[in-house]
Amino acid sequence: MTSFPAHLDHIVLATPDLAATVAEFTRRTGVAPAPGGAHVDLGTRNHLVGLGGRAYLEIIGPDPDRPGPSRSRPFGVDALPAARTLTWAISPPDLDAAVAAARGQGYDPGDIRAMSRRRPDGVLLEWRLTDGPPLPCDLAPFLIDWGAAAHPTDSGLPVLPLLSFTATAPAPHEVRPCLTALGTDLTVSPGPWGFSFTVDTPNGPVTFG
C-alpha cells in the first residue's frame, strides 16, 4: 500500500508547453488529464489528474489564450527547457496554525497569499497558500488551504494511483528538519536536486521526473 506524505495535496509538473506535455502524458499513461482552468492574472493554465484520496497531479504551463503577465509566470514556466516536476503542496488542517508552528521551530514557510483559478465551467475557485520554501529547504512543500472552495479531487478527475513520490538532494540532512517542522515527510536521497513520482496506469507503472 502506498504511503503518501502527510497532508499531501498535490504534485506540480511544470512545463513550457502545456499542450505538448499533456499530449505526452496521455500517450505514456493512456489517460488524458482533465482541464483545470486558467489562473487569473498569472498567465498560466493547468490540467489535473487524481492520484488517489484527496491528492492530485497539477500539470501547469503558459496559457496560450492569455498574453504574458507583467511579471514572471509561476514556477518560471517560460524558462524551463522541458517539463519537470518542480514542487509539491500539503494541506494541513489549519494553515495559519501550521505556519506559526513551523516558525516556532525555526523554519519559515513563507507569507500566506490569496490565489484563484477559473474552471472551464466558469466557476471561480479561491484559496490561500504560502509563497514557497527558501534555501536550503527547496524540496519542502508549500502549504495550501482551499477554504470554502471545492477541492480539485471533488470534480471527477481521472485517477492514476500514486505508487511512489521521492526526491534527491546534495544534502538531504538539510531538508529533513524543514519537513519535520511542517509535520510531513518525504524520502530524500543523496543526489542532484530533483523529484520523481510514479503512477499506476493502464500502460503499467510510469515515472516522471
Task: Work out whether the CA dihedral 2, 6, 10, 16 comes out positive or negative.
Answer: negative
Q: 137-156 pLDDT, tens per residue?
A: 789 999 999 998 889 999 89
Interatomic CA distance for residues 75 and 53, integer angstroms = 25
- Cell numbers 524540496 correspond to what residue? 139
Whether the per-residue pLDDT at 194 is higher than 70: the answer is: yes
Q: Given pLDDT bands bounded at 50, 70 and 90, which one contains residue 68?
A: low
Among 74-83, 130-139, 158-167, 173-182, the least confident range: 130-139
Distances (CA, A) of 112 to 2, 30, 131, 143, 203: 30, 37, 6, 9, 40
Q: How far is CA 103 from the centre of its chain?
A: 22
- Please tell me the predicted confidence (pLDDT) of residue 149: 87
Q: Given pLDDT bands bounded at 50, 70 and 90, which one contains residue 29?
A: very high
Pairing status of strand 162-169 against strand 142-145:
unpaired
Cβ atoms of residues 159 and 56 within 8 Å: no
When pLDDT is averaged across residues 66-86 and rounded to a whole number, the result is 82
Instruction: Give the largest CA-CA distance in the chain.
Output: 46
Q: Among 130, 129, 184, 123, which residue's Cα sits nearest to residue 154?
A: 123
Whether the per-residue pLDDT at 136 is higher than 70: the answer is: no
Q: Among 139, 196, 130, which residue's Cα sits nearest to residue 173?
A: 139
Strand partners, 162: 199
Domain 8-208: homologous superfamily in CATH = 2,3-Dihydroxybiphenyl 1,2-Dioxygenase, domain 1 (3.10.180.10)
- Please tell me the predicted confidence (pLDDT) of residue 122: 87
When pLDDT is averaged across residues 11-34 and rounded to a whole number, the result is 97
Interatomic CA distance for residues 56 and 49, integer angstroms = 6
What DSSP designation does 151 have?
P
Average pLDDT, the chain: 92
Interatomic CA distance for residues 164 and 166, integer angstroms = 7
Whether the per-residue pLDDT at 169 is higher than 50: the answer is: yes
Q: Given pLDDT bands bounded at 50, 70 and 90, which one contains residue 1?
A: very low
Interatomic CA distance for residues 115 and 126, integer angstroms = 6
Other beta carbons within 10 angstroms of residue 38's beta carbon come to 19
Interatomic CA distance for residues 105 and 94, integer angstroms = 17
Other beta carbons within 10 angstroms of residue 108's beta carbon come to 16
- Please tell me the predicted confidence (pLDDT) of residue 115: 87
Whether the per-residue pLDDT at 185 is higher than 70: the answer is: yes
pTM of the model as a whole: 0.94
Q: 35-58 pLDDT, tens per residue?
A: 999 887 788 999 999 999 999 999
- Cell numbers 503518501 correspond to what residue? 4
